[in-house]
Amino acid sequence: MNNKGFTVVELIASFALTMVITVFLFEVLIEVKDIFADAGTKSAIQQKASIISKNIENNLPSIGSSVSCSGDTCDINGKTLKIDVANQKVIIGGQNFNMPDTVSIKNYELNNTCNEANCYLYVSMVLDSGNLKKEYNYDVTYYYSL
């Protein structure tokens, strides 16, 4: 007798193998999605951070700058730098720089110190998002002279 069908054991084995491969591919798909979400959010944060840094630098000429900081606000040559945690944005001279949609500002620090004629403005923000595997730290120190 010539048997051209599959045995029950072969059917169960092929079904089990198919399920293992399906679960594995699903896990790979979820991991790839998380990688792209993390990379996309980091890229959006880095673009925004670059724009914020450029605007702060534009308000800090190297000689004769006047800077004073208190809490979440700094006065830079008559223009205000403010970190608005409630609205998730940075305000520089009246211009609003909103964080990307899923990003929130957790912590921040604005600090201004001077050594004789050398001064430093330190701006730090801890940014968080459900799309990030870990928090993003924005830490920039600007040098200027009196």
Give pLDDT tens digits for 22-61: 888 888 888 777 777 667 777 878 888 888 888 887 777 6
What are the angstrom distances between the C-alpha of 11 and each of 5, 14, 66?
10, 5, 79
pTM: 0.66
Question: Which pair of structure tokens corresponds to residue 120?
Answer: 């430093």
Structural domain boundaries enclosing 49: 8-145
Strand (E) positions, the chain?
67-70, 73-76, 79-84, 89-92, 95-98, 103-115, 118-129, 136-145
User: How confident is the chain (146 residues) per 10-residue block, as mean pLDDT?
Assistant: 73 90 86 73 80 79 72 84 89 86 86 83 86 83 78
Task: Give me the pLDDT at residue 2, please.
Answer: 60
- HSE, CB side, 13 Å, CA atoms: give it for residue 9: 0
- What's the structural domain count of the chain? 1
Task: Give me the pLDDT at residue 65, please.
Answer: 65
In a domain? residue 3: no
In a domain? residue 91: yes
In a domain? residue 2: no
In a domain? residue 140: yes
Task: Give me the pLDDT at residue 45, please.
Answer: 80
In a domain? residue 63: yes
Task: Give me the pLDDT at residue 62, please.
Answer: 60
The rounded distance, in Å, linking the Cα atoms of 41 and 43 is: 5
In a domain? residue 86: yes
In a domain? residue 1: no
- Find tokens 């720089």 and name the residue: 97
Task: Give me the pLDDT at residue 54, please.
Answer: 84
Q: Angle at the Cα of 118 (from 113 to 120), degrees rounded to 5?
A: 40
